[in-house]
Each structure stands twice: as C-alpha cells, then as structure tokens.
Amino acid sequence: MATGAAKPSRNPLYALYQRGIRRSLTPETLPGHVAMIIDGNRRWARQLGLESAAHGHRAGAAKIREFLVWCDDLGIGMVTLYLLSNDNLVKRESEELTALIEIIEDLARDLSGFRDWRVQHVGSDDGLPASLVETLDEAEERSAAHPGLHVNLAVGYGGRHEIADAMRSIVSSHHLQGGTIEDLAAILTPELISEHLYTSGQPDPDLVIRTSGEQRMSDFMLWQSAHSELYFVEALGPDLREVDFLRALRDFANRQRRFGS
C-alpha cells in the first residue's frame, strides 16, 4: 500500500516530471480494471466554507469525469466507481442524500453520452428512489452497445449485501431446479459465487484507489478485491490530480503481484 499527493506546482519542471511518469508506463504494466473510491467531498466543502455538502459532491462528480478521461486516454478498459453505498442510504441526512442522488443521476446521463463509454449499474435497486433506478437503467441501455471504456457505477452498493444477494440467487436457482442441500454443498465454489455477483462476467479490479487519506475499503468490492493492489491518496476527492493518478499507476507497475502464491 502507498500514499501519494503533493502540493500543486506551477514550475515547468513539475509538468516535465508528470510527462516522465506517463512515458514510463507501458500498456503491459497498466491495470486493466481500476476501482475508485472518491472520498472526501464533504470535507472539501467544509474546508472551503461552502454552505452544503452538495457543493463537494458536485466537485467530486466533475473530478470523476476528469478521472475517467485520464483512464480512457491511457487505454485502461474498465473502471468501477463507488458512488452510493447501502450505508449512505440509511445514514446520510435526507437533504444531503436528495442532492447526492440528483448529482448521480446527472453523472449517469453525462457519462452514458460521452465518448463511446459503456455505463453499467452495479448494485441493488432496493432502497433507491424510482427516478434514480430509471436513470441508471436508461444510461445502461443507451450505452449498452458502446465499445469504449466500461464504467461501472456502484450505486446502492455494499460488498456484504452483494455476497448475500449472490448466495440467495444461487439457492433460489438451485431450488427451482429441484436440487438438494447436499447437491448445493457439492457445487458451491468461489467461481459459482462470482457468477452471481453484480459484476458477473467482469475481471476483478487490479488496482483499488481511495482518496482523502482514509485507509479502509468501506464495504467496497470485498469479494472482487481479494487480490487487488491498494493505493491510498492523501488528496481529497475534488483535489485529485492527474499526477496523483500517474503515481498510483507507477507504483502498481512496480509491484510484484503474487495472487496468494
């Protein structure tokens, strides 16, 4: 694990330094799937004395699109964004949650019509407002045939809920087929569980990045990140810079991934 975030500099040597990191990255050393927890939006708003957390969430949403452009320009094929957790749905103030949901709706519409990106909702519809479910469904349908960057929007998401939902799906399917508990025990494998996750059919994330200096997963992709590399950035979400991301990629490229070996 690593941390990284330096203060901005207008020195031309700094831009040269950033280009140097970019040149050191090669396609074979880049992660194919990056998962991102853009955290610190509320703290960012408070530090600037803004009147509501919504200002921070809007700034974070703008940074998300910028971040996705960085990924796309480098040839990274898949990104998963943690936008709204199950815990957020029950623990956030109603006014903040309402604003956040509107921001996510706007983001989903924007991303599904930008470049040739494909947007997919990964999460549960349970507990989500009907307008948000409809917007996510429309964004997914609108971009389903797009061949470019695959963007997973983790909304109404929780790693524990995902695993529980996968197990319920497996048990229900097995029951409908007339199988016994003994049969189920014999066929229940990690591979079968993976097939019933929200991200079924997708590669697990190679790299998980979290902003704001917090070093925890917060119930994000618990199953899929079993062998992921983790990188923690000190910058708050809206303050994330391209050089911070490039440093994360350089760090990833220099690691020796063991996958439990």
pLDDT surpassing 70 at residue 176: yes
CB-neighbour burial class of residue 116 (10 A; exposed 0-12, middle 13-18, buried 19+): exposed
pLDDT tens string 101-151? 999 999 999 999 999 999 999 999 999 999 999 999 999 999 999 999 999
Decide: 41 and 56 in contact? Cβ < 8 Å: yes
pLDDT surpassing 80 at residue 1: no
Residue whose entry in the numeric block shows the structure tokens 């992921």? 228
pLDDT surpassing 90 at residue 239: yes
At residue 16, the pLDDT reads 92
Residue whose entry in the numeric block shows the structure tokens 């921070």? 56
- DSSP alpha helices (H): ranges in 11-129? 12-24, 41-47, 53-74, 86-91, 94-112
pLDDT surpassing 90 at residue 172: yes
Residue whose entry in the numeric block shows the structure tokens 């050393």? 29
Q: Give the separation between CA 218 and CA 230, rounded to whole angstroms.
A: 13
pLDDT surpassing 70 at residue 207: yes
Q: Give the separation between CA 21 and CA 10, rounded to whole angstroms.
A: 17
Q: Which positions ≥6 away from 169 have C-beta within 8 Å?
A: 196
Decide: 37 and 218 in contact? Cβ < 8 Å: yes
Decide: 248 and 233 in contact? Cβ < 8 Å: yes
Indicate which residue of 41, 72, 86, 88 is catalytic: 88
User: What is the dihedral sign for C-alpha 85, 89, 91, 92?
Assistant: positive
How high is the mean pLDDT of the chain? 94
At residue 15, the pLDDT reads 87
Decide: 225 and 207 in contact? Cβ < 8 Å: no
| Domain boundaries 30-158+205-251, corresponding CATH code | 3.40.1180.10
pLDDT tens string 80-100? 999 999 999 998 889 999 999
Q: Give the separation between CA 76 and CA 69, rounded to whole angstroms.
A: 10
Is residue 39 among the annotated active site residues?
A: yes
At residue 258, the pLDDT reads 74
At residue 9, the pLDDT reads 52
pLDDT tens string 10-24? 678 888 999 999 999
At residue 261, the pLDDT reads 64
E strand residue ranges, the chain: 33-37, 78-85, 118-122, 150-157, 207-210, 229-232
Is residue 88 among the annotated active site residues?
A: yes
Decide: 102 and 173 in contact? Cβ < 8 Å: no
Kindly report the pTM of this predicted structure.
0.92
pLDDT surpassing 50 at residue 5: no
Indicate which residue of 39, 204, 206, 239 is catalytic: 39
Three-point CA angle 191, 195, 197, nearest 5°: 115
pLDDT tens string 44-65? 999 999 999 999 999 999 999 9
